[in-house]
């Protein structure tokens, strides 16, 4: 009997549970034994591996976070530590592993794959920073959370004729800021892809003020700049009273939206199909309406062009 395992790793993302559920249920459907690895690569090395049944994944499709837990575990970069993980899996007779996480998680999966465990990567991160898929599991939920926050901030900004600077997550990827900025009707979006030109930003916001706009929203990807400093500069230069809001970790939690649940379910099922054919070392992605898979190595080096076409939209709608 084939034995496979599933785990979540790196930053948690809404929809990871839906993917875990799909892996477990489709593995059982094919007659496999399926195991859950708790707390990412750390738990794998420590042997936190348990057999899962259908019932173990009931009522989780609608829950945020990850019921398997997650961890950051830099020790996994050492080959001797990864060898312990390989031995743990072999002791259970597990030959295939589905890992759900971001690019760090993919790197771990690629190394494990080279050491003889057939690994399949599913993109689980709110940042949408995995180029081998149009969307990552969790992105659409986090996007809705950010848009809800912008809508609320707009109510106050409009009432008080203010500018609101909103910092959102994304690490090195501006998709969350870009999509939220468009959906929230923001005046200006600053992302790693656009870069930050302070004078251009100030001029654009002052133009809004001069056109008698009562409020302005600026959306910024984290790590680009100090939002408090930018707010001070905007206030001095444009005449808008300005406030900065860092949304922080509220963006990571929450019940997954339907899109994330459906995509995660399809990806989980696809992963099991690949393992059934004894295929490993692949990263699953969504391309348009289709599920596709790439060599994990290739997935880690691909460049994204999905959102580039959307940047023009922002300027044209101001």
User: Interface with ligand ADP by CB under 6 A: which residues?
Assistant: 9-11, 41, 72-74, 76-77, 101-105, 107-108, 111, 125
What's the closest the beta carbon of residue 10 comes to ligand ADP, in angstroms?
2
Based on C-alpha coordinates, what's the Rg of the chain? Answer: 22
Phi, psi values for residue 87, rounded to 5°: -65, -40
What's the closest the beta carbon of residue 253 comes to ligand ADP, in angstroms?
15
Whether residue 102 contacts residue 129, with contact meaning beta carbons closer than 8 Å, is answered with: yes
The yes-or-no answer on residue 127 being catalytic is: yes
Task: Identify which of residues 74 and 315 has a Cβ nearer to ligand ADP in the complex.
Answer: 74
Task: Identify which of residues 87 and 278 has a Cβ nearer to ligand ADP in the complex.
Answer: 87
Whether residue 22 contacts residue 267, with contact meaning beta carbons closer than 8 Å, is answered with: yes
CA dihedral for 100, 101, 103, 109, sign (positive or negative): negative
Whether residue 97 contacts residue 114, with contact meaning beta carbons closer than 8 Å, is answered with: no
What's the closest the beta carbon of residue 42 comes to ligand ADP, in angstroms?
7
DSSP 248: G
Task: Identify which of residues 151 and 298 has a Cβ nearer to ligand ADP in the complex.
Answer: 298
Task: Identify which of residues 141 and 186 has a Cβ nearer to ligand ADP in the complex.
Answer: 141
Burial class (CB in 10 A: 0-12, 13-18, 19+), 158: middle
In the set 12, 103, 127, 293, the catalytic residue is 127
Whether residue 217 contacts residue 186, with contact meaning beta carbons closer than 8 Å, is answered with: yes
What's the closest the beta carbon of residue 189 comes to ligand ADP, in angstroms?
24
**Minimal CB distance to ligand ADP: which residue?**
104
Whether residue 14 contacts residue 256, with contact meaning beta carbons closer than 8 Å, is answered with: yes
Task: Identify which of residues 103 and 134 has a Cβ nearer to ligand ADP in the complex.
Answer: 103
Cβ-based neighbours of 53, under 8 Å, separated by 6 or more? 28
Closest CA to 204 of 185, 184, 218, 183: 218
What's the closest the beta carbon of residue 226 comes to ligand ADP, in angstroms?
24
Enumerate the active-site residues.
Answer: 127
């Amino acid at each position: 009997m084939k034995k496979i395992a599933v785990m979540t790793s790196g930053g948690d993302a809404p929809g990871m549970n839906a993917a875990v559920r799909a892996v477990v249920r489709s593995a059982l459907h094919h007659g496999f034994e399926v195991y859950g690895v708790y707390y990412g690569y750390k738990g794998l090395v420590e042997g936190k591996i348990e057999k899962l049944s259908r019932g173990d994944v009931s009522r989780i499709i609608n829950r945020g976070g990850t019921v398997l837990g997650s961890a950051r575990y830099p020790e996994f970069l050492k080959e001797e530590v990864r060898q312990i993980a390989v031995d743990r899996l072999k002791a259970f007779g597990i030959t295939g592993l589905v890992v759900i996480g971001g690019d760090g998680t993919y790197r771990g999966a690629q190394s494990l794959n080279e050491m003889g465990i057939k690994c399949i990567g599913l993109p689980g991160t709110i940042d949408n920073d995995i180029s081998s898929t149009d969307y990552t599991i969790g992105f659409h939920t986090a996007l809705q959370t950010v848009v809800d926050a912008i809508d609320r901030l707009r109510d106050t900004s409009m009432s008080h004729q203010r500018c609101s600077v909103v910092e959102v997550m994304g690490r090195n990827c501006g998709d969350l800021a870009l999509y939220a900025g468009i959906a929230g009707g923001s005046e200006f979006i600053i992302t790693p892809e656009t870069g930050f030109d302070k004078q251009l930003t100030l001029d654009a916001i002052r133009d809004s003020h001069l056109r008698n706009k009562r409020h302005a929203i600026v959306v910024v990807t984290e790590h680009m700049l100090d939002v408090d400093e930018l707010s001070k500069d905007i206030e001095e230069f444009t005449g808008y009273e300005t406030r900065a809001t860092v949304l922080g970790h509220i963006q990571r939690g929450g019940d997954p939206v339907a899109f994330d649940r459906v995509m995660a379910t399809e990806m989980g099922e696809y992963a099991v199909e690949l393992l059934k054919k004894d295929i490993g070392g692949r990263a699953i992605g969504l391309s348009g309406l289709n599920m596709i898979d790439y060599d994990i190595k290739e997935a880690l080096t691909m460049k994204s062009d999905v959102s580039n076409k959307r940047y023009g939209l922002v300027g044209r709608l101001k």
